[in-house]
């Protein structure tokens, strides 16, 4: 084992977490056949008399079924794991009985509700080494994956950007995916949040493909675009907002430019197949929230730059 590496066991296989001067880099098998990722944010709302009756339990069952069928699949969480305050008891009572079932296959990012408890201490305690310092990177198959913290104060955010610049330079890849909580673009109630514009620009300059976010409790897919909201199908990044992990749904407001698909009538998760030089996506419905006619859940595919 390398001097700066810590091996973490998984349910069927292992990941190598390499502690760098920044946060950490992990690797997983699947470079030839691709890796399946299940992703969502805005998950478990407390209190419930019985977590089994929560929407988080519905989405957890959807994810668990996929993980059982594919021992190499992993989970990316997009913040706001618990409501309302990200307290230790919320992780124990609401998140752990649902999405905690696959904690050892989960790579997290923090949301604003985690920070309603000072320094998001219960979040970092719950996820331990996998939370890094709030940001970290890993390899899934041939893809480079970056988790960022969209809640940081200016000085801490500047340090995160310096880390990101160095991380992208050290891990060039044809296909890169980043995830954090607050979406740069959103047609939902919170709207577009500019905090991560500089991170978007760094990622796009490095040739990244995908950004996953939560925060708005809906599902939205955007066309590839740049950090200033201009359509760029040749070099832009495609963003998914997946705030559908179990929290109460919220409606769309003003449709933002380059929004290609919007769905606030379902609870569910995004399934991604990260393949060599391309990716496929499909929204997996766990619970339909309205009886109104809805289009089929979103799905599609694209190639990396």
The pLDDT tens digits for 139-188 are: 999 999 999 999 999 999 999 999 999 999 999 999 999 999 999 999 99
Q: So what's the pLDDT on residue 289?
A: 75
- Decide if 28 contacts 72 (C-beta within 8 A): yes
Tens-digit pLDDT profile for residues 230-244: 999 999 999 999 999
Answer yes or no: is pLDDT of 200 > 80.
yes
Tell me, what's the pLDDT at 152? 98
Among left, alpha and beta (phi > 0; psi -120 to 50; other), residue 142 is alpha
Report whether pLDDT(31) > 70.
Answer: no
- Whole-structure pTM value: 0.89
In this predicted structure, the answer to whether residue 36 has a pLDDT above a threshold of 90 is: yes
Q: How confident is the model at residue 23 (pLDDT cuts 50, 70, 90)?
A: very low
Work out the angle between the directed axes of helices 154-170 and 197-205 (0-180°, nearest 10).
10
CB 150 within 8 A of CB 182: yes
The pLDDT tens digits for 62-78 are 999 999 999 999 999 99
Judge contact between 154 and 227, C-beta under 8 A: no
Q: Sketch the domain layout of the chain as residue ranges.
A: 5-303
What's the fold here for domain 5-303? Purple Acid Phosphatase; chain A, domain 2 (3.60.21)
Q: How does strand 176-179 pair with strand 210-213?
A: parallel
- In the chain, the percentage of residues whose pLDDT exceeds 90 is 81
Buried b / exposed e along 133-146 (16+ C-beta atoms within 10 A):
ebbbbbbbbbbbbb
Rounded Cα distance, 267 and 105, in Å: 21
Q: What is the mean pLDDT of the chain?
A: 89
- Asked whether the predicted pLDDT for residue 213 surpasses 70, the reply is yes
Rounded to whole angstroms, how far apart are CA atoms 245 and 212?
13
């Amino acid at each position: 084992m390398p001097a700066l590496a810590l091996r973490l066991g998984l349910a069927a296989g292992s990941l190598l977490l390499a502690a760098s001067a920044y946060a950490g880099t992990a690797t997983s098998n699947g470079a030839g056949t691709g890796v399946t990722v299940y992703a969502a944010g805005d998950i478990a709302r407390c209190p419930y008399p019985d977590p089994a009756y929560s929407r988080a339990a519905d989405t957890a069952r959807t994810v668990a079924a996929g993980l059982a069928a594919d021992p190499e699949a992993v989970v990316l969480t997009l913040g706001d794991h618990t409501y309302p305050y990200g307290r230790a008891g919320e992780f124990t009572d609401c998140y752990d009985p649902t999405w905690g079932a696959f904690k050892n296959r989960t790579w997290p990012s923090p949301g604003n509700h985690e920070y309603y408890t000072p320094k998001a201490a219960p979040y970092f305690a719950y996820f331990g080494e996998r939370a890094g310092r709030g940001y970290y990177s890993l390899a899934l198959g041939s893809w480079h994956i970056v988790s960022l913290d969209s809640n940081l104060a200016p000085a801490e955010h500047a340090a995160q950007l310096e880390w990101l610049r160095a991380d992208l330079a050290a891990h060039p890849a044809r296909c890169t995916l980043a995830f954090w909580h607050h979406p740069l673009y959103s047609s939902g109630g919170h709207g577009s949040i500019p905090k991560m514009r500089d991170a978007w620009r760094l990622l796009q300059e490095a040739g990244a493909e995908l950004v996953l976010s939560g925060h708005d409790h809906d599902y939205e897919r955007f066309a590839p675009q740049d950090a200033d909201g201009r359509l760029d199908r040749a070099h832009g990044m495609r963003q998914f907002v997946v705030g559908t992990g179990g929290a109460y749904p919220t409606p769309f407001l003003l449709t933002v430019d380059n929004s290609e698909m919007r769905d606030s009538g379902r609870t569910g998760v995004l399934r991604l197949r990260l393949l060599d030089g391309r990716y496929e996506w499909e929204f997996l419905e766990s619970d339909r929230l309205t009886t109104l006619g809805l289009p089929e859940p979103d799905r599609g595919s694209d190639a990396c730059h």
